[in-house]
Amino acid sequence: MAARRARWDRLAALVDRAAGKGVRSLSAGEIDELALAYRAATSDLAVARTRGEDPVILDHLNRLTARAHSVVYVATARTGWHRFVDFVVRGFPREVRRSWAPIVFCAVVTILSAFVAYGSVAADPANARALLPGMQLPRVTKALHDSNFGFDRADSPAVASMVITNNVRVAAIAFAGGMTGGLLTGWIILTNGLMVGALAALYAHAGFGPDFWATIAPHGVIELTAIQIAGGAGLVLAGGYLRPGRARRVDALTLAARRAGTLVLGVALLLCVAGTIEGFISPQRLSIPVRAAVGAITAIALLAYLLGAGTQRDEPRTGETPLPS
């Protein structure tokens, strides 16, 4: 006790300060000192138990090491809520930027197929059924806003839930399609583009073109972007076993599945936002310019989030060392 009392007291002082003001209140040297003192105290405890030391010493060391453990391990561990925030703020947008190539590919396929469908259906509305066989296409007699949102506003929560469920299902299929070598993923993305282009042409032919785009703008920007990201996730998954590189195929597939899983979880969150907008905001009787403006705002916000969030790592304050994740 005479030889080690000063070291134990120093550890207790560091633990008290870290417990009261947080681990980040310690300097870099003090953090190292805390870690070394904790390891030394656990060693002292083991020796004391082996030698059958005074119960008073054992009790003191037991309490000291337990408190130090809570600071060294528990206090620095991220809770579920912190992990969720970290995923939203950093993990998902970073993975989107990392996987930009397959996502952009899906976006290009969607845009090109939408243009082809729009041109074909604009020339002859009957072509819509040829482009989308088996799909129930509307007989356009009124604006899309009147067709889609003629429900009691009290039913908005149910409508939002239904929309979210359907969109998440489509995104999940696009993601899972990666296990078919990306063929099913490509088909989902292609069909989605054809559907958007064909519907736009049908409503434009009936004289409701501006209303069509203004109606889907508030929620559609997020929704369509989420589908492209889900498609990109499917292609990332496909690349894991089609192009493993020098890694074992199972290892490459495991890594690709983690990346794709990050993307598809983020997609689910985006679709929840889009579904909420579609259930509560899109049905409002707003003018076409206002609806278009809402769509522009969501587009800018989404672009800023995906391109800007998580671009910088948290920097420790002067005199601190980064804490382990």
pLDDT tens sequence across 41-81: 888 888 888 887 778 888 888 888 888 887 777 655 555 67
Domain boundaries, the chain: 5-77, 81-308
Q: Would you state the pLDDT for residue 182?
A: 87
Judge contact between 103 and 302, C-beta under 8 A: no
pLDDT at 112 over 90: yes
Judge contact between 236 and 176, C-beta under 8 A: no
Q: How far apart are CA 74 and CA 96, in angstroms?
A: 31
Q: Would you state the pLDDT for residue 7?
A: 86
Judge contact between 195 and 310, C-beta under 8 A: no
Q: How far apart are CA 45 and CA 49, in angstroms?
A: 6
pLDDT, tens only, 77-99 = 555 677 788 888 888 999 999 99
pLDDT, tens only, 187-228 = 999 998 999 999 999 989 888 889 889 888 888 899 999 999
| Closest among 240, 241, 220 to 294, alpha carbons compared | 220
pLDDT, tens only, 244-277 = 777 788 888 888 889 999 999 999 999 989 888 8
Structure tokens at 112: 């090109």
Q: Which residue type occupies 299?
A: A
How far is CA 42 from each of CA 27, 136, 138, 206, rounded to the nearest angstrom? 23, 70, 73, 79
User: How would residue 320 be classed by pLDDT, with cut points 50, 70 and 90?
Assistant: very low
Mean predicted confidence (pLDDT) in 286-309: 92
Structure tokens at 89: 């703020």
Q: Would you state the pLDDT for residue 115?
A: 95
User: How would residue 146 be classed by pLDDT, with cut points 50, 70 and 90?
Assistant: confident
Q: How far apart are CA 194 and CA 191, in angstroms?
A: 5
Structure tokens at 155: 């039913």
Nearby residues of 177 by Cβ (< 8 Å), 6 or more positions away: 183, 184, 185, 186, 187, 188, 234
Q: Percentage of the chain surpassing pLDDT 70?
A: 89
Q: How far apart are CA 278 and CA 133, in angstroms?
A: 27
pLDDT at 279 over 50: yes
CB atoms near residue 201 (< 10 Å)? 25
How far is CA 270 from each of CA 160, 195, 225, 323, rounded to the nearest angstrom? 13, 21, 9, 30
Q: Would you state the pLDDT for residue 78?
A: 56
Mean predicted confidence (pLDDT) in 5-32: 83
Q: How far apart are CA 68 and CA 76, in angstroms?
A: 12
Helix 100-123 and helix 209-242: axis angle, to 10°?
140
Alpha carbon of residue 51 to chain centroid:
54
Judge contact between 178 and 185, C-beta under 8 A: yes
Structure tokens at 86: 């970290």
Q: How far apart are CA 8 and CA 59, in angstroms?
A: 13
Burial class (CB in 10 A: 0-12, 13-18, 19+), 253: buried
CB atoms near residue 54 (< 10 Å)? 11
